[in-house]
């Protein structure tokens, strides 16, 4: 559904041919893009509606909301991660990296208006030993958790 102008811009180290893990999830929501955006940028509230995000703390940037270059620490998939927002276009796109033990990831979100609300696409690519091991041992885990994250957006 995303147009070429509205596609994910992957950093060079996350080219698909070099990564063992890539997941893509999407959903159509009957809520305006602005509501989805507000929910995504309030990272400290993610644990209230997405059980795979825990102990989210902004390390810098504006209080309470993510912004370009905001760093944050959080737990996801049972691992401590430190992230930095690398792409930030209000109501359209946000992306961050995530570094943790054995994992280096890039997670991007695209929000596209539709006649009844919006279409949300989220994709993540990872590398690192733990990322590779999880993709082999639990190949659907990240996809399933990200779908839950997307579905949590509709309850805004």
pLDDT score, position 5: 47
Cα separations in angstroms, 145 against 25, 62, 85, 89, 102? 10, 28, 21, 24, 19
Predicted TM-score of the model (pTM): 0.91
Q: Judge whether residue 1 has pLDDT over 50.
A: no
Q: What is the pLDDT of residue 6?
A: 67
Q: Which domains does the chain have, with CATH numbers?
A: 21-153 (3.30.530.20)
Separation CA 17–CA 145 (nearest Å): 24
In this predicted structure, the answer to whether residue 106 has a pLDDT above a threshold of 70 is yes
Please say if the pLDDT value at position 45 is more than 50. Answer: yes
Least reliable range by pLDDT among 52-56, 63-67, 82-86, 118-122: 63-67
């Amino acid at each position: 559904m995303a147009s070429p102008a509205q596609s994910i811009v992957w950093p060079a180290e996350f080219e698909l041919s070099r990564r063992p893990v890539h997941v893509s999830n999407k959903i159509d929501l009957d809520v305006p893009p602005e509501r989805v955006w507000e929910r995504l940028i309030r990272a400290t509230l993610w644990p209230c509606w997405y059980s795979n995000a825990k102990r989210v703390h902004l390390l810098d940037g504006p209080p309470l909301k993510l912004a370009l270059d905001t760093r944050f620490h959080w737990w996801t998939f049972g691992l401590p991660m430190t992230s930095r927002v690398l792409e930030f276009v209000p109501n359209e796109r946000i992306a961050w990296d995530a570094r943790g033990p054995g994992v280096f990831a890039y997670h991007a979100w695209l929000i596209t208006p539709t006649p009844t609300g919006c279409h949300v696409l989220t994709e993540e690519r990872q590398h690192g030993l733990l990322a590779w091991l999880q993709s082999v041992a639990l190949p659907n885990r990240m996809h399933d958790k990200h779908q839950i994250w997307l579905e949590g957006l509709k309850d805004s």
